Amino acid sequence: MPRARALERPRGVALSFQGVTHRYGPRIALDQLDLQVFQGEVLALLGPNGAGKSTTISVLLGLVRPQQGRVQVLGSDPRRAVADGRVGAMLQSGSGIGLPPGVRVEQALGLVRRLYPRPAQFDQIVERADIGGLLRQRTDRLSGGQAQRVRFAIAIAGDPEVVFLDEPTSAMDVESRQGFWRMMRDFGDEGRTVLFATHHLAEADEIADRVIVLNHGTVVADGPGATLKAAVATRRLRFVTDHPDRATLSELDGVTEVDVCGTGVSIDSLDADATIRDLVGRGVPFRDLEVTGAGLEQAFVALTGCGNGRANAGAGLLAKGPSLGATVRDVP
């Protein structure tokens, strides 16, 4: 498996933040941020809006100079790394698609390639970003997902060692999103460093080697997605019962949340085993029981204390697992 091969190698530090603080007026975007990312890592920066994800990327690109602290990209100043053509990025597009209107895709890509000292092969970029069918199209006639693929092609046109992607799949449908994840993952498997910001939890979970949860400009949690989920040991139980009684279900051992819909019941529990024993003990007639990991979403809610309507569950988890932020730092 290519991912494992990349991990075996001794690796240098690709990106480092030391005590980085940045404010926009009174609002603090980065608060004493410390972070090290190793070469070849595929890292997800996860967090709610305003957590500091975009600022982190802007700082890494030298677009924003932080007021305090030290940032290095590939061992040098971020602007140096950009000027040397060692960095590529796909930023959030503003009002438009982030591509020059009135030109064909191949022309825009051709231009960006020429701006780099050691660009990737044209055909290779086209294949990686899967834009073979779009080359002759005009940039202003692309769909949202197509435009994002072209922007990815532009991000990797300079054959960069490090790529930053700021919420790259935010405007995509499910299918394009899956395809895009594969592209990012493949690119990371080549030994390059990929850092992407997202608030799609599944995205972080499925493609990143390592997930950093950012909130209020600091690292709240740091580890492989699976470890993060384990840290928040929530399981979801689903079953069917003829006359669900919400009050009884809420009293079950370990339960943090109960959802009843007709005869279907969904329970979030911190201790699935205890909940099931209790369920049996109370003689609740259930069938079609299914237990699943609650997913990164729950972990995320728990760690940042955000999320709509689920904030209670999050608060509960935080109370029971006091050292969540510190639990999961096992990155090489």
Partner 1 sequence: MTELSAAAPALADDPFVEDHAGSVPRIGWRSRLVPLMAFGRFEVGRLLRSWKFLAITVGFPVIFYLLFLRDRPAGEVVGGTVTWRVYLMVAMCSFGALVAALNAGGTRLSMERASGWARQLRITPIPAWSYVGTKVVASMLVVLPVIVLVEGVGAAFGDVRLGAATWVGLTVLVWATALPFALLGVFVGFLVATEAAFPVVTGLMFVLGYFGGLFTPVNRMPGSLQLLAQFMPSYHHDALALAALDGRTLAPSHWLVLAGYVAVLATAIMWKHRVEEARGLA
Q: What angle do CA 127, 128, 132 make, to 5 degrees?
A: 35
Q: Of the listed pieces 110-118, 235-243, 312-320, 322-330, which binds partner 1 according to CB under 8 A?
A: 110-118
Residue 114 as a binder of partner 1 (CB under 8 A): the answer is yes
DSSP single-letter state for residue 134: G
Distance CA 172, CA 176 (A): 6
Q: Which two tokens stand for residue 31?
A: 């608060």
Residue 21 touching partner 1 (CB under 8 A): no
Q: Which of residues 264-283 bind partner 1 (CB under 8 A)?
A: none
Using CB under 8 A as the binding rule, whether residue 2 contacts partner 1 is answered as: no
Rounded CA-CA distance 65/298 in Å is 34
- Bridge partner list, 27: 24
User: Counting contacts by CB under 8 A, is residue 200 touching partner 1?
Assistant: no
Among 20, 30, 43, 87, binds partner 1 (CB under 8 A): 87
Q: Check if the beta carbon of residue 320 is closer than 8 Å to that of residue 233.
A: no
Size of the site for partner 1 (CB under 8 A): 53
The Cα-based distances of 150 to 8, 99, 193, 289 in angstroms read: 32, 9, 20, 45
Only segment of 45-53, 69-77, 237-245, 252-260 that touches partner 1 (CB under 8 A): 69-77
Nearer residue to partner 1 within complex by CB, 3 or 246: 3
CA 207 – CA 316 distance, rounded (Å)? 29
In the numeric block, the tokens 């701006």 are attached to 115
Give the other-Cβ count within 10 Å of 259's Cβ. 14
Closest CB to partner 1 among 83 and 311? 83
**Residue of 42, 131, 154, 197 that binds partner 1 (CB under 8 A):** 154
User: Which span sits near partner 1 by CB under 8 A: 4-12, 251-259, 268-276, 315-323?
Assistant: 4-12
Q: Is 115 in the site for partner 1 (CB under 8 A)?
A: yes
Cβ distance to partner 1 smaller for residue 61 or 252: 61
Distance CA 189, CA 23 (A): 35
By C-beta, is 154 or 279 nearer to partner 1? 154
The answer to whether the CB of 88 falls within 8 A of the CB of 128 is no
Q: Point out which residues bind partner 1 (CB under 8 A).
A: 9-13, 16, 39, 58, 61, 63-65, 72, 74-76, 82-89, 91-103, 107, 111-112, 114-118, 151, 154, 158-159, 161, 190-192
